[in-house]
Structure 1
Amino acid sequence: MASLKVLSALDTAKTQLYHFKAIIVAGMGLFTDAYDLFCIPPIMRLIGRVYYEHESEDHKYVIPPIITSTMVVIALLGTAIGQVAFGRLGDRIGRRRVYGVALIIMVLSSFGCGFSVCSTRWCVLLSLGLFRFILGIGIGGDYPLSATIMSEFSNYTTRGAFIAAVFSMQGFGILAASMVTMVVCAIFEHASDGVAEDLTPKDADFAWRLILMIGAIPAGLTFYWRMMMPETASSNLFQSKIYNHHLPMKEQLNAYQDAFQVAKFQAIIAACSTIPGYWFTVYFIDKVGRVKIQMMGFFFMALVYLALGIPYYKYWDKKPNTGFLVLYALTFFFANFGPNTTTFIVPAELFPARFRSTCHGISGATGKVGAIIGSVGFLWASHDGEGKVYPEAIGMTFSLIMLAIVCLLGMVVTFLFTRETMGRSLEENENDD
């Protein structure tokens, strides 16, 4: 009876300052997640300059695609494991206690990513891969706990908006990763002006480590507030190809300028497409509903992917192509004003409290498995059976059309199987058969 009174009080409570504080505190893990994921493309440019000596025809030091894909897959695998494990622990021993453990793992592994004492290429890559896997576990643990805690602190009239606002912190993490990378590269380039002819300054090996370690700061700052909280009652997988093929680049860029250009592109996408998508969801989620937004997002993503994929060989396969980049940015908008955000919200509302965190973790981990399959699948689509690399256009066309098909399937599954949770209390959702 007491717990029902608490739930009733939460459902009728007015929006107060602690709601916004909870959004910041709960969202900082997602901020860190996005920071660490989106600082990797420019960092891989720097690592390529430092540790790969061979030079391509367009004067860029290139890391083999399998290495870049492996770095993505390792982090996703750790995230999937963390979602399942910490989701279950959150239901068994309490959200708050496990929340702190996930945060500590994120902070320590972020520092670990930059603290490799190795000097050889493979030792550095193995060390970075290990700490990114551990970082993924911490990030994965943060996902179900953040969504569950926010859902259980909110009232039913604004619950969707508050959970979406937590998730929107990813957008600011993307922007922060790009801005930090640009600032660090600008500072290091200014300091190395005396060696203008050196396209790969020696300090570049320190620059990428510093960018990674800075990602631990915002998460660490929220640790105290997380411990003071009361106990409660997917498409960037082939971004490196996009950058290499469509991003305008001048010849003979040094390492810092190369990474700066990639980070600048990411910042523009985040500011003009990704973040607006999140906040469109925040505004409309409790007016339109979860199911309609999810179906709409899937539908328009499918249209954009088809518009990119079908004419790719004859029309988009140019370097650079501004029209392609504009359409590509729209996929981020409709992902976040659509399924990327709603699939974070619905599991936190739909499942019973006794295994809400567990089921949210399983739901999120399933998505990460799909992302891993997509990452490996894109690499596979770029090669024939004998390991020969297909022309760029063939792999891109296949991947973009497959993404469109997946989006259309997602729209159908949403229509057939997803229950609307808008305007319903958590106990109403729990008591439904």
Structure 2
Amino acid sequence: MAREQLQVLDALDVAKTQLYHFTAIVIAGMGFFTDAYDLFSISLVTRLLGRIYYTNVTAPKPGTLPPRVSSSVTGVALVGTLTGQLFFGWLGDKMGRKKVYGVTLILMIVCSLASGLSFGSTPKGVMATLCFFRFWLGFGIGGDYPLSATIMSEYANKRTRGAFIAAVFAMQGFGILTSGVVALIVSVAFDHAYGAPAYEDNPAASTVPQADYIWRIILMFGAVPAALTFYWRMKMPETARYTALVAKNAKQAALDMAKC
């Protein structure tokens, strides 16, 4: 058995760079792209959240989120990310990369949409609901981080492993850039459709009711890239390295390699 496992590993290390390697880069890279978009897009809408939900003129800074609320909204996903990394990293070693990879993606899609649908009869209710869904979004992101990197490293051959992993991590930058572009496009579109005076000129009239849709659309857009890669992520076979070394099924690992 040990000899068969070594043969599988040797075959993976010396394999020529093929189409499935680049497919894996795109699939794993889109995971990092989505992770970065979801984590950084919230910072682009916090000011708008303050304008919409915290307009009490008696507050120290009307039109802005209170410090505790702002910290909770922006930081709760990072808490979820930490716990998700620990849990899904462990689960991925137990159940396999492919199964857990699908679970994290579904969680990210659902929670991205749910974040944009946050509800409540009071500002505190809306923020509490948003924080709840942002935590579980971060939980899914935390699982996607280690799994995407691990899957790419296990698919890659020895010669190009470093470059392929770097390409996957580089997608984070594009995710951050896209979050800014999407926020800009949505904001400009609503500004043209529902013009309003500047906040300094008329605080009461500066934020039209339709502005509540802006932050929701920006957050929900994070589900789009994740959903686009769902089919291909589910179609990927289990990594041959996991099957050979952890599941100890060298024969199945060889069959999975043939599928690539």
1:156 alignment partner, SS class: coil
1:162 aligned onto 2:169: no
Q: Could you say what the CA RMSD is over the residues aligned between the two structures, in angstroms?
A: 1.9
Which residue pairs with 2:93 in the alignment? Answer: 91
Task: Say whether residues 1:199 and 2:201 are aligned partners.
Answer: no
In structure 1, the partner of 2:109 is 107
Equivalent position amino acid for 1:210 in 2: I
- Match status 1:216 vs 2:218: no
Q: Which residue of 1 aligns with 2:233?
A: 226
Q: 1:79 aligned to 67, 78, 81, which one?
A: 81
Of residues 177, 180, 184 in structure 1, which corresponds to 2:179?
Answer: 177
Inter-partner Cα distance in structure 1 for 2:31 and 2:56: 38
Structure 2: how far apart are the matches of 1:44 and 1:72?
A: 8
1:32 to 34, 38, 41: 34
Cα shift at 1:71:
2.2
After superposition, residues 289-304 of structure 1 pair within 5 angstroms as none
1:131 aligns with 2:138: no
Is this contact kept in 1: 2:152–2:164, CA < 8 A? Answer: yes
How does 1:18-417 map onto structure 2 within 5 Å? 18-54=20-56, 61-193=63-195, 195-196=196-197, 198-233=205-240, 354=246
What fraction of aligned residue pairs are identical, expressed as a percent?
Answer: 57
- When residues 17 and 60 of structure 1 are mapped into structure 2, their CA distance, relative to the original with a 3 A threshold, is farther
Give the alignment partner of residue 14 of structure 2, picking from 12, 31, 49: 12
Between 1:196-205 and 1:165-174, the stretch displaced more is 196-205
What displacement does 1:47 show?
0.4
**1:173 to partner: Cα distance:** 0.6
**Post-superposition offset of 1:54:** 4.2
Task: Map Cα deviations across residues 391-419 of structure 1 (whole Å, 9 max, x no partner).
Answer: xxxxxxxxxxxxxxxxxxxxxxxxxxxxx
CA pair 172-60 structure 1, distance change in 2 beyond 3 A: farther
Cα distance, 1:152 vs structure 2:
0.6
- TM-score calculated relative to the size of structure 2: 0.84
1:39–1:212 contact (8 Å) kept in structure 2: yes
Q: Report the Cα distance in structure 1 between the residues aligned to 2:138 and 2:174, rounded to whole angstroms.
A: 19
Q: Which amino acid aligns with 1:203?
A: Q
Shift of 1:6: 1.9
1:155–1:60 CA distance, 2 compared to 1 (3 A)? farther
Distance (whole Å) between structure 2 residues aligned to residue 25 and residue 210 of structure 1: 24
**How far apart, CA to CA, are the structure 2 residues paired with 1:224 and 1:74?**
29
Contact 2:49 2:64 in 1 (8 A): no
- Equivalents in 2 of 1:73, 1:65: separation in Å? 12
Looking at structure 2, the residues matched to 5 and 60 of structure 1 have their Cα atoms a distance apart, in angstroms, of: 67
Measured in 1, the distance between the counterparts of 2:231 and 2:5 equals: 27
Give the partner amino acid of 2:208: P
8 Å CA contact 1:78–1:134 kept in 2: the answer is yes
Distance in 1 (alpha carbons) for counterparts of 2:63 and 2:43: 13
TM-superposition CA deviations, 1:64-85 (whole Å, max 9, x none): 2222222233111111111111
Give the letter for the 1:206 counterpart.
Y
Is 2:113–2:223's contact at 8 Å kept on the other side of the alignment? yes
Measured in 2, the distance between the counterparts of 1:65 and 1:354 equals 47
Q: Which residue of 1 aligns with 2:258?
A: none
Question: Which stretch of the first structure deviates more once superposed, 90-99 or 13-22?
Answer: 13-22
User: Which ranges of structure 1 fall in alignment gaps of 5 or more residues?
Assistant: 234-352, 356-433
- Consecutive unaligned residues of structure 2, counting only runs of 5 or more, are 248-260
Contact 2:55 2:62 in 1 (8 A): no
Rounded Cα–Cα distance in structure 2 between residues aligned with 1:60 and 1:120: 16
Tell me how many residue pairs correspond in the alignment: 233
> Residues of 2 paired with 1:30 and 1:175: CA distance?
13
Q: Which moved more, 1:21-30 or 1:43-52?
A: 21-30
Cα deviation 1:146-175 (Å, max 9, x = unaligned): 111111111122111111111111111101
Q: CA deviation at 1:354?
A: 4.6
Higher relative contact order (CA 8 A, sep 6+): 2
**CA distance in structure 1 between the aligned counterparts of 2:15 and 2:179, rounded to whole angstroms:** 36
Q: CA shift at 1:117, angstroms?
A: 2.8
CA contact (8 A) 1:55 1:62 kept: no
